[in-house]
């Protein structure tokens, strides 16, 4: 059903009050205020491969620039988070995500690298080739004052 081709009355009849909203949104009409200074809740990076990857070593290599991209953002903005999420999209476009939440704020890139590598290793053997790989860090705290709790220690 293409919402843009429907009348507002049709959409209200089928969807109730929210039909008014669907009618407007389908026509790019949105009067809600833009909030350009919202607080970022996560940062991520992903890459799509020209050819599907099957080897763990190739995926580990592909993961490194994603880790660097995410961590560089964290360094630039003095942001730190607790949850690392790995996103894997297979050749048939099915997708999985795997996450791990640290008990304390992740303070070092090496911690991101270790957790991301562990999450990646846990999906092997692969059921099919990997088309896209992504990594994100969330549960942010954006300032220099760590929240109470256990901090991670670089060893």
Q: Domains of the chain (ranges plus CATH)?
A: 1-32 (no CATH), 42-141 (3.30.1490.100)
Q: pLDDT tens, 17-74?
A: 999 999 999 999 999 998 888 778 899 999 999 999 999 999 999 999 999 999 999 9
Closest CA to 110 of 81, 68, 151, 79: 68
Report the interhelical angle of 18-25 vs 8-15 (nearest 10°).
Answer: 140
Average pLDDT of the segment spanning 91-110:
96
């Amino acid at each position: 059903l293409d919402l843009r081709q429907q009348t507002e009355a049709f959409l209200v009849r089928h969807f109730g009050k929210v039909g008014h909203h669907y009618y407007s949104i389908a026509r790019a009409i949105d009067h809600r205020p833009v909030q350009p200074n919202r607080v970022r809740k996560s940062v991520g990076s992903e890459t799509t491969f020209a050819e599907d990857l099957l080897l763990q070593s190739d995926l580990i290599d592909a993961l490194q620039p994603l880790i660097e991209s995410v961590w560089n953002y964290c360094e630039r903005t003095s942001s730190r988070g607790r949850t690392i999420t790995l996103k894997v999209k297979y050749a048939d476009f099915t997708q999985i995500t795997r996450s791990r939440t640290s008990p304390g704020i992740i303070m070092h890139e090496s911690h991101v690298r270790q957790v991301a590598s562990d999450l990646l290793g846990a999906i092997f053997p692969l059921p099919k080739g990997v088309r896209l790989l992504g990594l994100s860090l969330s549960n942010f705290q954006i300032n220099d004052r760590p929240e109470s709790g256990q901090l991670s220690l670089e060893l």
